[in-house]
Amino acid sequence: MEVSIQIEVRSTEIDVMGHVNNAKYLEYLEWGREEWYNRAQLPFDEFTRMGIGTVTVRIEINYRKEATLGEKLTITTRPVKRGRSSFVLEQVIDNEKGERVADAQVTSVTIDLKERKSVPLPEKLAAYFPESR
C-alpha cells in the first residue's frame, strides 16, 4: 500500500541558506509514516492496545534538491521489506514539478511496551510487506 500526503513549506522550516533545513525533512518523513499507519488502520492507539510500539532505528536519507518557502511537496510512503521484528518503509519527497527533493529508507522495530524489547511484527502490520527472503 502506497500513501501520499502533500504539505506546503512554511517560513519556520527555512534555514539561513534560504531553503528547508535538513532536520525538517525528518519531520516531513515522520508525517508521511504517520499517515501510512493511519491508512493501514494501525494508528498509534491500535499499537498501544496490542502492547506494542514502533521504534525508528535507522534512517538513510538522500537530499537531492533544495526546497524553498511556499513549495508544495508530496511525501510518498511504501513498505519494502520486513524481518522478524523489523520493517523498512521507503519514502520519497517530490516537489510540485515532479522533481525528487529527497528519498529515504526508514527501518523500524516493533517492541513490547512493558519489556522494551523487540517482538515479532504483529500479523496486522506484517501483512502489508512482501515476504522476507
The residues annotated as belonging to the active site are: 15
The DSSP code for 79 is: E
DSSP secondary structure letter of residue 131:
P
Cell digits for 131? 515476504
φ, ψ dihedrals at 27, nearest 5° = -65, -45
User: Cell 501483512 identifies what position?
Assistant: 127
Contact 115, 106 (CB under 8 A): no
Task: Write the Ramachandran bin of 98: left for phi over 0, alpha for psi from -120 to 50, otherwise beta.
Answer: left
Distance CA 98, CA 37 (A): 25
Other residues' Cβ atoms within 10 Å of the Cβ of residue 83? 15
